[in-house]
């Protein structure tokens, strides 16, 4: 797996230019940087001007702190309240969406540290995931925060849009209206008011607030897949995936390939074996898709195995020849979106399931 850090810097710099200093950009590097490698991606984003980072888990935040990042880090998911003191000690901001979480976190802070915890208030405006859903509960939490300023620093308030990557903006507008109504309940707006993921910032920039959470677009992937092809600037995909042929043989009419004998040759065929499989994140359902060998699309034949898969070659091809699974070869390209389309899923998922068994190579540091 090759990750082009220049592409990541390009995507961040393009978005920073659009923001024109009106909003901070927090790079989302959760899930090991969407499978690209959190630390290396964070370094590239830092070089490009990102002012903070978002992750999903406290452990992911601590990985960045261990790598000597000093920028603000926000954990977007709900962290167990008994880890509040650890977060405070490492200057990591946590998300909460209930008064009960606050009271439990207060107990941990009082018992284990003198350092106040930075918190962001999550508002559930229609995502149905985490956060306050009504004004009364939010008001109670705001009162609690005001009474316990020695324990908590209210750093932000945010929501997450469910349909920002769709052309129909009806539900998006309903969420935006609900967010504004809930924020009005707060006696004072915190430092960061943020609603924008990549899709929101790209296509609904007027909603950005003073911070955006720049996620999948920083990796060069369109948040909508093919739903909204129009972009304010070209995104540069950062990830490519290559392997090589480890075995080549000729089979004959009626010969079967792989588990279940689901593929049988129609005649004399050259079959190549590629040392990569579903244990690496190359899904079993990709049988029938293709890869590139010397720029030629070669069909994946037979079921993909845990560690290997087979392809039909146009001719006898030397062992060691490069096989391109994602990326460009001799002017032909397979994008992560192409793989996602065939897999009936989204490119987010495919990036995240590429396993650590795949060697990572970073270029253009």
CB-hemisphere CA count at 13 Å for 174? 9
| 188 counts as catalytic | no
Angle at 56 between CA 203 and CA 197, to 5 degrees: 5
Alpha-carbon distance of 62 to 57, in angstroms, equals: 9
| 171 counts as catalytic | no
Tokens 């040392």 label which residue?
A: 275
Tokens 């689901």 label which residue?
A: 262
Alpha-carbon distance of 355 to 353, in angstroms, equals: 6
Residues 13, 5 contacting (CB under 8 angstroms): no
Tokens 């000729």 label which residue?
A: 250
Q: From the candidates 34, 259, 278, 342, which is the catalytic residue?
A: 259
CA Rg, the chain, in Å?
24
Angle at 29 between CA 25 and CA 35, to 5 degrees: 145
Alpha-carbon distance of 349 to 161, in angstroms, equals: 19
Q: From the candidates 30, 192, 219, 263, which is the catalytic residue?
A: 30
Burial 25-58 (b: 16+ CB within 10 A, else e): bbbbbbbbbbbbbbbbbbbbbbebebebbbbbeb
Residues 286, 343 contacting (CB under 8 angstroms): yes
Does 306 appear as a known binding residue?
A: yes
Q: 196: which strand partners? A: 212
Catalytic residue ranges: 30, 259
- Give binding residues for substrate as ranges: 129, 306
Binding site: residue ranges?
Answer: 129, 306
């Amino acid at each position: 797996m090759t990750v082009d850090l220049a592409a990541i810097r390009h995507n961040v710099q393009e978005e920073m230019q659009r923001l024109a200093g009106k909003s901070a950009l927090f790079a989302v590097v959760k899930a090991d940087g969407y499978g690209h490698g959190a630390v290396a991606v964070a370094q590239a984003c830092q070089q490009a001007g990102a002012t903070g980072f978002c992750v999903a888990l406290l452990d992911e935040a601590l990985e960045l702190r261990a790598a000597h990042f000093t920028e603000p880090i926000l954990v977007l998911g709900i962290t167990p309240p008994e880890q509040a003191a650890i977060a405070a000690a490492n200057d990591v901001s946590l998300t909460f969406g209930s008064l009960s979480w606050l009271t439990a976190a207060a107990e941990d802070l009082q018992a284990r540290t003198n350092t106040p915890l930075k918190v962001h208030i999550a508002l559930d405006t229609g995502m149905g995931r985490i956060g306050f859903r009504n004004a009364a509960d939010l008001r109670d939490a705001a009162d609690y925060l005001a009474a316990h300023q020695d324990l908590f620093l209210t750093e932000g308030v945010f929501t997450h849009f469910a349909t920002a990557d769709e052309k129909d903006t009806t539900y998006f507008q309903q969420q935006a209206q609900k967010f504004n109504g809930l924020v009005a309940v707060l006696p004072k707006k915190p430092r960061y008011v943020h609603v924008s993921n990549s899709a929101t910032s790209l296509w609904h920039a007027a909603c950005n607030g003073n911070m955006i959470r720049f996620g999948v677009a920083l990796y060069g992937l369109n948040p909508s897949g093919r739903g909204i092809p129009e972009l304010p600037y070209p995104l540069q995909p950062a990830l490519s995936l290559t392997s090589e042929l480890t075995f080549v043989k000729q089979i004959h009419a009626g010969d079967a390939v792989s588990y279940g004998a689901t593929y049988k040759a129609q005649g004399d065929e050259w079959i190549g074996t590629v040392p990569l499989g579903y244990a690496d994140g190359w899904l079993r359902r990709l049988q029938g898709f293709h890869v590139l060998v010397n720029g030629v699309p070669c069909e994946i034949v037979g079921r993909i195995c845990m560690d290997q898969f087979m392809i039909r070659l146009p001719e006898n091809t030397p062992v060691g020849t490069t096989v391109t699974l994602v990326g460009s070869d001799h002017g032909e390209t397979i994008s992560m979106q192409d793989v996602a389309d065939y897999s009936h899923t989204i490119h987010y998922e495919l990036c995240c399931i590429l396993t650590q068994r795949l060697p990572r190579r970073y270029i253009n540091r």
